[in-house]
Structure 1
Amino acid sequence: MSSYEARFKVWRGDAEGGGLEDFAVEVNDGEVVLDIVHRLQATQAPDLAVRWNCKAGKCGSCSAEVNGRPRLLCMTRMSVFRRDETITVTPLRAFPVIRDLVTDVGFNYTKARQVPAFVPPEGVAAGEYRMMQEDVDRSQEFRKCIECFLCQDVCHVVRDHEENKPAFAGPRFLMRVAELDMHPLDAAEEAGLDRKRTAQDEHGLGYCNITKCCTEVCPEGIRITDNALIPLKERAADRKYDPLVWLGNRIRRR
């Protein structure tokens, strides 16, 4: 096994402030950035705070920014960097720092609670649900989300404009709205819930300008923009601006 010494800059601090601290640390073949952070804890910075759990890219806990790009530390291989490159590890920029690389992502759980759950169809028991495989596949893509919140972090609507947070759910939860809206068994409309309207009025769908940055950082390869956000925007626009839909709604109300 070959090894070399790498240069790291790791952000240290808390809610009151902080800065980058320089480290020289050993790197071995096959290691990922999280391995190096653990080595720093073991040898040079025992009080370095980092959140992690599975180390297999499935829990979403070890989200941070490596050289300015939101990544999972456990899935970022050291081999993708040059040996003479200085690697910078910082906390997620869109959320408040607790300490070192650990941020308060409570914003995301608040937004999750604001999305109304699946509405079961009336008169159909759970074991009697039947769906076309095409509909299962479409929904299953979004179910791969591990809630690492990298898409939330990279979205400039959240990242660069703190004032938008109260009115904007972010790509992860707009994707959840889209998933439910296209679910063939969701009986939201029969229950008086218009998911397309709430996507615009309550979850800030109009703030999204489909730059696809959320899709680019998703570790599960979910096509958030193409398969969730753009179709949801199209359906919301149809519902709000299509004159035939408007006329049909007026007739139904009468």
Structure 2
Amino acid sequence: MSSYEARFEVWRGDVRGGGLEDFAVEVNDGEVVLDIIHRLQATQAPDLAVRWNCKAGKCGSCSAEINGRPRLLCMTRMSVFERDETITVTPLRAFPVIRDLVTDVGFNYAKARQVPSFVPPEGVGPGEYRMMQEDVDRSQEFRKCIECFLCQDTCHVVRDHEENKQAFAGPRFLMRVAELDMHPLDAAEEAGLDRGRTAQDDHGLGYCNITKCCTEVCPEGIRITDNALIPLKERAVDRKYDPLVWLGDKIRRRS
């Protein structure tokens, strides 16, 4: 096994402030950035705070920014960098720092609670749900989300405009709304819930300008923009501005 010495710059600090700290650390073949962070904790910075759990790219815990790009520490191989390259590791920029590489992502859980859950169809009991495989596959893509919140971090609506957070759910939770809106068994409409309208009015769908940055950083390869956000926008616009839809709503309300 060959090894070499790499130069790292790791952000150290807390809510009061901080800065980058330089480290020279050993790197071995096959290692990922999380391995190097663990080696720093073991050899040079025992008080370095980092959040992690599975080390298999499935828990979403070790989200950070590597050379300015939101990534999972456990899924970023050291082999993608040049040996003489300085590697910068910083916390997620869109969320408040707790300490070092650990951020407070409570914003995301607050937004998750604001999305109305699946509404079961009336008269269909457990085990009686039937769906076309095509519909199953569509939902299954969105269900691959590991809630690493990299899409939330890279979305400039959240990242660059703190004032937008109150009105904007972000791509992860607009994707959840889209999944439910596409679900053939979701009886939200019968229960008086218009998911397209709530996406627009309550979750800030109009703030999204489909730059696809969320799709680019998704470690699960979910096509968030193409398969969730754009279709959701199209349906929301149809419901709001299509004259035939408007007339149908009027007739239903009158009857």
What TM-score do you get using the length of structure 2 for normalisation? 0.99
Q: Name the counterpart of 2:43.
A: 43
| Structure 1 SS opposite 2:26 | strand
Deviation, structure 1 residue 231:
0.1
Unaligned runs of 5+ in 1: none
Question: For 1:74-131, what per-residue CA distance to the aligned partner results, in whole angstroms no more than 9, with x for missing partners?
Answer: 0000000000000000000000000000000000000000000000000001210000
In 2, the alpha carbon distance for the partners of 1:241 and 1:126 equals: 37
1:194-252 CA distance string (max 9 Å, x none): 00000000000000000000000000000000000000000000000001100111111
Q: How far does residue 65 in structure 1 lie from its aligned partner after superposition?
A: 0.1
Q: How many pairs are equivalent?
A: 254
For the residues of structure 2 that align with 1:204 and 1:172, how far apart are their CA atoms? 12
Q: Distance in 2 between matches of 1:252 and 1:200?
A: 22
Shift in Å, 1:50: 0.1
Matches within 5 A, 1:76-95: 76-95=76-95
Residue in 1 that maps onto 2:240: 240
Q: Give the alignment's TM-score, normalised by structure 1.
A: 1.00
Cα-to-partner distance string for 1:166-216 (whole Å, 9 max, x where unaligned): 000000000000000000000000000000000000000000000000000
In 1, the alpha carbon distance for the partners of 2:164 and 2:123 equals 40
Cα distance in 2 for residues equivalent to 1:248 and 1:193: 17
2: CA distance, partners of 1:84 / 1:99: 28
Q: Which string of whole-angstrom CA distances, capped at 9 and with x for unpartnered residues, describes residues 12-66 of structure 1?
A: 0000000000000000000000000000000000000000000000000000000
Q: Cα RMSD between the aligned structures?
A: 0.3
2:238 & 2:146 partners in 1: Cα distance? 31
Matches of 1:160 and 1:174, distance apart in 2: 18
Give the whole-Å Cα distance in 2 for the aligned partners of 1:240 and 1:126.
34
Deviation (angstroms), 1:142: 0.1
| 1:142 alignment partner in structure 2 | 142
Runs of 4+ in 1 over 3 A off after TM superposition: none
Match of 1:63 in 2: 63
What's the secondary structure of 2:116's corresponding residue?
coil
Q: 2:109 aligns to what?
A: 109
